[in-house]
Amino acid sequence: MVATIEPHAGRTADAVQAEVEAWIDEHWDPALTVREWWSKLATAGLSYSMLAPPYGRGYSREQNAAVFAALRAKGAMGPPAGIGTMLSLPTILTHGTPEQIEQFVPRIIDGTHGWCQLFSEPGAGSDLAGLQTRAERDGDEWVVTGQKVWTSTGQAADYGILIARTDPSAPKHQGITYFLMPMRQPGVDVRPLREMTGHAVFNEVFLDGARVPDSLRLGDLGAGWAVANTTLSHERAGIGEASGGFGRAAPGSIVGHLDRPCSDFLDKARAQMTQGHISPGTVKRFIELAREAGRLEDPMIRQAIADLHTRVQVMGWSARRAKGGAGGRTGVEGPLAKIGMTGTLRRGVELGCAILGPDAQLWGRDAATSGWFQELMVFSPAPGIYGGTDEIQRNIIGERGLGLPKEPGHPREMPFKDLPANATR
């Protein structure tokens, strides 16, 4: 895979956007299948242009933003998104062998594979290191048994990023190993969990003798906690980053989107819900909502809109600082970003309720806002829980960022098998 245009680190964002718009004019057609279009984006290095060649163009964050601005300006579908690009991609690039990177990265950025995250368990959510799922060596394979829960997009995943206990005699943070597990195999039972929004984004996954080749172990044996922290850092930052989504299909071979025309998903994108995030586009929606309701001149509403806009802008700046690398890093950018997003989401829900009044309680496509705000409101408790609760994020910030004492607990060197049951759950 080779980018069609050599990256130029010093080029302005405007120049990048103009170049990409010209490329889109030449290559974009809504009649293309999702597979064809995503392949074109990946081959051109435009799916995730911040990646180094041959997978991207080595662009800066500002240049990458210009790529997405060009796609939006031309009404083109964006690249594949989800667990694969947000979590699996950066973790594999950081900890993977050259063979693993070559096997998985191209198929993530062109949408061939869909992914899910097999971390949380019924007894190991906030205390993730207390996980009970075990992986036992059998020759060149590992046999996995246990249960995972809150597995986003598990029903649509070709692979899952899995952490399992491989040495119960080691301390609980040291006996964990990280795997890239094939999902479509005997011994993997995915059961969707219906949410109060009516959707089933989350799943519970039962593992009963599922197998993973040792070649798909990511990182060293027993070093899974360190690898998982890379994933968690990207997860929290990804949840906390404001972004304006545009027409996307689901990656992977399971749901059957790859061979459908892009136009199918662009049409649906026009009425898409906000999916639990507040972005600059969401702020614009609130402005239009206030204008339609005759509330735009209300000083309280105007102040709330200004507050929401400010918070979204600060989230964007913080994300750019965190991903920019040099200077200003705190070491807890991910938890700070996540708490920033959940707080902003709550402010957005308060604003929408203030604008709509009793109409905010009416559900469905025939309700005010065609239901997008109502779904946002009903979904809004979830981001404060998934990806590590806000309370856990505050603990991390206090301990790792501010140097406050850790909460009391059992000695970290105690073997996992010797921990009392209530200390492992």
For residue 101, is it within any domain?
no
The answer, yes or no, to whether residue 123 has pLDDT greater than 70, is yes
Instruction: Name residues whose C-beta falls within 8 Å of residue 421's C-beta, 6 or more positions apart in sequence.
Output: none
The pLDDT tens digits of the residues spanning 113-122 come to: 999 999 999 9
Residue 411 binned pLDDT confidence (cut-offs 50, 70, 90): confident
Q: What is the CATH number of the domain that holds 311?
A: 1.20.140.10
For residue 129, is it within any domain?
no
pLDDT of residue 1: 39
The rounded distance, in Å, linking the Cα atoms of 154 and 204 is: 8
Write the DSSP string, 135-197: EEEETTEEEEEEEEES-TTGGG-SEEEEEEES-TTSBTTTSEEEEEEESSSTTEEEEE---TT
What's the sign of the alpha-carbon dihedral 377, 379, 381, 386?
A: negative
The pLDDT tens digits of the residues spanning 139-183 come to: 999 999 999 999 989 999 999 999 999 999 999 999 999 999 999
Spatial contact of 346 and 276, defined as CB atoms under 8 Å apart: no
Catalytic site residue 297? no
Helix 280-292 and helix 372-379: axis angle, to 10°? 130
Q: Higher-confidence residue: 373 or 328?
A: 373
pLDDT of residue 231: 93
The pLDDT tens digits of the residues spanning 236-278 come to: 665 555 444 445 799 999 999 999 999 999 865 444 444 567 8
- Mean pLDDT across the chain, nearest whole number? 88
For residue 380, is it within any domain?
yes
The answer, as to whether pTM is greater than 0.85, is no
Least confident of 41-55, 263-277, 285-299: 263-277
**Residue 267 CA to chain centroid, in angstroms?**
23
Residue-range definition of the domain harbouring residue 274: 262-401
The number of domains in the chain is 1
Q: Which one of 21, 121, 204, 235 is the catalytic residue?
A: 235
The pLDDT tens digits of the residues spanning 82-94 come to: 999 999 999 999 9
Q: Higher-confidence residue: 34 or 412?
A: 34
For residue 34, is it within any domain?
no
- Angstrom CA distances, 133 to 68, 113, 138, 421, stand at 40, 24, 16, 14
What angle (nearest 5°) sits at the alpha carbon of residue 187, between those of residues 186 and 189? 100
Q: Which two tokens stand for residue 18?
A: 């103009």
* Listed residue (114, 407, 86, 97) closest to 251, CA to CA: 114
For residue 369, is it within any domain?
yes
For residue 295, is it within any domain?
yes
Spatial contact of 326 and 354, defined as CB atoms under 8 Å apart: no
For residue 276, is it within any domain?
yes
Tell me the Cα Rg of the chain.
22
For residue 203, is it within any domain?
no
What angle (nearest 5°) sits at the alpha carbon of residue 370, between those of residues 364 and 374? 60
